[in-house]
Structure formats: C-alpha cells, structure tokens
C-alpha cells in the first residue's frame, strides 16, 4: 500500500472508528494520520488520532497537536487540558506554553494557582524527580559505604561527594511533593459545568464553571468529585473534569467526549 493512500485510509478509519478501537494502530501511524487530517481540515479526525496516539504513548508533541485540533473545533477546555498535559510531560515545550497563554487570554481564564514546591516540580518533567531522588540516594549510600566495604581509607572527596548526593536528594523531595499535589489538578471540559453543593443531580448549583477552568479534587464519592476552584468548593461529576497527569488511572478517559 502506497504511503499517501495508507495515510488517507488511516484518516478515513479514524473518522469511522472510536478512539478505543484504534488501539491496534501504532502511535506513530496515528500521529501521522492526525497530522494528515489536521492539514486537510478534518479536525475531529485529527483530534481522535492524536488522542489515541497519546493514550498509547504520552508524547508532548502529540498532546500539543491534540490541543491545536481541539482548539480548532472550538473545544477550549479540551485544548487547555491537552496543552497542560504536554507541559506535564515536557515543561520545555514552549509552543504549548505560548498556546496556553493565548488561550487563557482569549477565553479570559485564570491559570491554576501553584505553591512554591509545585513551581519547583515544573522545572523538569514529572517522572524525572523520582529518578533523581533514587539515583542520588543510592549514590550517597554507595559513596558512604564503599570505602569501608573495600577497606579503603576514607578521603575528603568521599565525604564531599556523599554530602553533594544527600543535598540533591533532599532538594528533590519538595519537587516530588509538588508532582503529587499537581497530579490532583484538573480542568473543566465543557461550558457551563455546574459546581454542586452536594454530590447529587438535584443539588443546589454553587456556580457555573467555564471550559478550561482549573480545579483540584480532594475526595471521591460515587461518580462525583469534591473539588476546590477559585470560585468556590463543590461537587463535579467525574466526566466533567480531567486531570493534568495524562496517565492518571481512572481519569484519562480516552475519547469519551469526542
């Protein structure tokens, strides 16, 4: 099958199938199909392809393109979520950062408030902090124990390296805490999402949230999440909020709103 025809076939397949039925296609093929569909103005197909690719492999570039496709479809909440997820995977993605600034300015939305340790956790990709902590801890233990194990005479540089390793480990702890607390940050997906006083459909509405508005969930009751926003605290249905952490179990619900 010729490459051009194969790409056309993939675009048609993406349009006709749901995201969950595209799991057999490789992430790279889905990404190329998304680019092809986006270039042709088929933004729904592009969003489906990029979302299915990201569900298999959470690449920052894929999530960045997903945000562009969703923005072209007029789905502000889904676009902001995708760009936030792109920065979660790769905080050096300047294109996603610029798109977020533009989208929030256009839609008059506030950025999520972040504590100092959450700001620190944004300096590097979220997964890196666990590796830094593990490597620095075992490096410190190894440098401290190796001279005695090998019956070497302890030198000043042994102590200096152990101190440096311990310092790196201690400095990584606040960032890891920030990663954990940021993983509870989500974004409202649809316009006029009701924030309810109690976790029931008949509950009094505290306020209506705009698409792309940030919210932090604190606890779950059935199909409802108790969240805090800048407009107050209340309950949302699970499907009305998706989290910034792309692979958070139970929340990254592939293609549910396409």
What tens digit of pLDDT does each residue of 82-139 get?
A: 999 999 999 999 999 999 999 999 999 999 999 999 999 999 998 899 999 999 999 9
18-27 tens-digit pLDDT: 555 566 678 8
- Per-residue pLDDT tens for 238-247? 999 999 986 6
Tokens of 96: 């996603």
User: How far does CA 252 lie from the centroid of its chain?
Assistant: 9
Same CATH topology for 3-107 and 185-243: the answer is: no
Domain 3-107 maps to which CATH number in 3.40.50.300, 1.25.40.10, 1.20.1250.20, 3.30.1490.100? 1.25.40.10
> In the chain, where are the structural domains located?
3-107, 117-182, 185-243
Mean pLDDT of 41-50: 94
For residue 165, pLDDT beyond 70: yes
The domain defined by 185-243 folds into: SH3 type barrels. (2.30.30)
pLDDT band at 249 (very low <50, low <70, confident <90, very high): very low
* CA 169 vs CA 89, 143, 152: distances in Å: 22, 14, 25
More confident residue, 148 or 125: 125
pLDDT at 156 over 90: no
Give this prediction's pTM: 0.84
Residue 65 confidence (pLDDT) above 80: yes
Q: Give the whole-angstrom CA distance, residue 251 versus residue 186.
A: 10
């Amino acid at each position: 099958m010729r490459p051009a025809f194969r790409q056309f076939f993939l675009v048609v397949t993406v349009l006709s199938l749901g995201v969950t039925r595209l799991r057999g296609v490789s992430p790279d093929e889905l990404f190329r199909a998304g680019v092809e569909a986006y270039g042709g103005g088929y933004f729904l197909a592009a969003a489906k392809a990029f979302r299915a690719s990201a569900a298999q492999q959470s690449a920052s570039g894929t999530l960045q393109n997903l945000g562009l496709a969703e923005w072209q479809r007029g789905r502000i909440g889904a676009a902001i979520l995708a760009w936030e997820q792109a920065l979660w995977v790769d905080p050096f993605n300047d294109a996603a950062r610029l798109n977020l600034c533009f989208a929030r300015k256009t839609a008059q939305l506030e950025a999520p408030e972040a504590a100092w340790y959450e700001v620190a956790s944004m300096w590097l990709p979220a997964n890196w902090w666990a590796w830094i902590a593990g490597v620095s801890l075992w490096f410190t233990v190894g440098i401290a124990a190796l001279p005695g194990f090998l019956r070497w005479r302890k030198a000043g540089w042994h102590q200096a390296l152990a101190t440096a390793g311990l310092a790196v480990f201690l400095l990584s702890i606040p960032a890891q805490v920030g990663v954990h607390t940021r993983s509870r940050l989500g974004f409202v997906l649809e316009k006029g999402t009701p924030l309810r006083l109690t976790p029931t459909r008949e509950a009094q509405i505290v306020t209506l949230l705009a698409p792309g508005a940030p919210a932090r969930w604190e606890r779950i009751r059935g199909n409802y999440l108790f969240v805090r926003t800048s407009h107050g605290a209340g309950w949302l249905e699970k499907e009305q909020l998706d989290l910034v952490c792309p692979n958070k179990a139970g929340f990254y619900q592939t293609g549910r709103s396409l």
